[in-house]
Amino acid sequence: MKIKIKLLVLVLLILPGCILVPAMDSVRRAGLTESSRQGLLPESLKKFNEAMQWGNPQEALGYVDDANQEGIALQLQDLAEQEKVVEAKIVGIDFKENAFKAIVNVTVRAYKVPFYVVKDRKEKQTWRFSVSDGWKMQTREVANSKPT
């Protein structure tokens, strides 16, 4: 009898936690809190940069805000035709407006085809979060490029 009572108490203590875990994960993935929005940005940045590394600008456009797709699409298409990205490294992220906006500094290492001389390029990307779409790039500016 004591074992059944202990088991019942244990189940009653664990069960609410099991129910809350998926709900808490849903809140985190929805970006309802400032810290959850901050936690979601690196995943979007990684997927965008991986798409560019693999020379797939169409996939990268999935991470660009609809209102800015036309201009950025031309940039990305030109880059994919002219260069091969070797590495993209996030240098810094500055969150603004309670983490609904982020300024991302990226160092991109790439070479122009067919010369194979790797150069560093600094990019400043502006990303904006919406609950319906997640993180989307709004602007992309190239700061400079220099040989390594």
- Using one digit for the tens of pLDDT, what is the confidence trace for 92-132? 999 999 999 999 999 999 999 888 899 999 999 999 999 99
* pLDDT, tens digit, 9 for 90 and up, residues 3-14: 667 666 655 666
Number of domains in the chain: 2
* Judgement on whether residues 77 and 15 belong to the same structural domain of the protein: no
Report how far apart, in Å, the C-alpha atoms of 3 and of each of 9, 11, 17, 49, 105 are: 10, 12, 22, 55, 59
Helix 69-82 to helix 34-53 angle (10° resolution) is 40
Q: Which domain holds residue 65?
A: 37-147
Give pLDDT, residue 147. 47
Assess whether 124 and 74 both reside in one domain.
Answer: yes
Say yes or no: 61 and 123 in one domain.
yes
Residues 50 and 83 both lie in one domain: yes
**Inter-residue contact 15 to 77 (CB < 8 Å):** no
Per-residue confidence (pLDDT) for residue 49, from 0 to 100: 95
Residue 80 has pLDDT above 70, yes or no: yes
